Amino acid sequence: MTFARVRALIVVGVLVILAVGFVGYALAKDTQRGTTVARTCPEGWPLVDLTLRPADQVKINVFNATDKPNLATSVANDFANRKFKVGKKGNDRKAVEGVAVLRYGPKAVGSAHLLKAYFLNEAEAEYNPARTDDIVDVVIGDSFRQLATTTEVNQALVELARPSLPPESCEAPKQP
């Protein structure tokens, strides 16, 4: 073996020993080992369900806040045809100027997010942290024309991305 080869083997050997030493040191002195970031929810803050459920698991009530007669029944039938669980139908006392208003509580945040896509992200959200049910109240407004098609809903969901936490709330743990 020539001197150049011996010198090259020595250099490579030293580099390997240094690399093993650095890796060993990094693993031994790792400060992140065993630590977890546990976020606790402040007392009194509601746990919010952000799960996007399929339509057949979403419960809604439909109310008409316009001058058009039987609009709530018509929209409720459209939602029922799309497999939503429709409860109450009727008129709302307060007029709504926009397309729609979605009223919901902590257990229905993910459901309201899905419903917003059916109004092409133009429905206004009214979150009530004191509400205990998992039903979304859909209040139809003056600017409402029709529900979105399946393709439009999918595109609107992409634009909306993931549901976000309302203020002063914590995400509920995922159920298996």
pLDDT in tens, 20-69: 999 988 888 877 765 554 567 888 889 898 989 999 999 999 999 999 99
**Does residue 60 share a domain with residue 25?**
no
pTM: 0.74
**Does residue 57 share a domain with residue 3?**
no
Count of domains forming the chain = 2
Reported as a single tens digit per residue, the pLDDT across 1-22 is: 788 898 999 999 999 999 999 9
Confidence of residue 93 (pLDDT cuts 50, 70, 90): confident
Report the Cα 100 to chain-centroid distance in Å: 20
pLDDT of residue 140: 96
Does 128 reside within a domain?
yes
**Does residue 75 share a domain with residue 154?**
yes
What distance in Å separates the CA atoms of residue 161 and residue 176, rounded to the nearest whole number? 22
What distance in Å separates the CA atoms of residue 120 and residue 146, rounded to the nearest whole number? 10
**Does residue 151 share a domain with residue 110?**
yes
CA distances from 167 to 48, 64, 126, 175 (A): 11, 28, 12, 22
What distance in Å separates the CA atoms of residue 176 and residue 170, rounded to the nearest whole number? 18
User: Residue 176 pLDDT > 70, yes or no?
Assistant: no
pLDDT of residue 34: 57
Domain encompassing residue 15: 1-29
List beta partners, residue 170.
47
**Does residue 110 share a domain with residue 62?**
yes
**Does residue 124 share a domain with residue 165?**
yes
Residues composing the chain: 176
**Does residue 137 share a domain with residue 56?**
yes
174 vs 63, higher pLDDT: 63
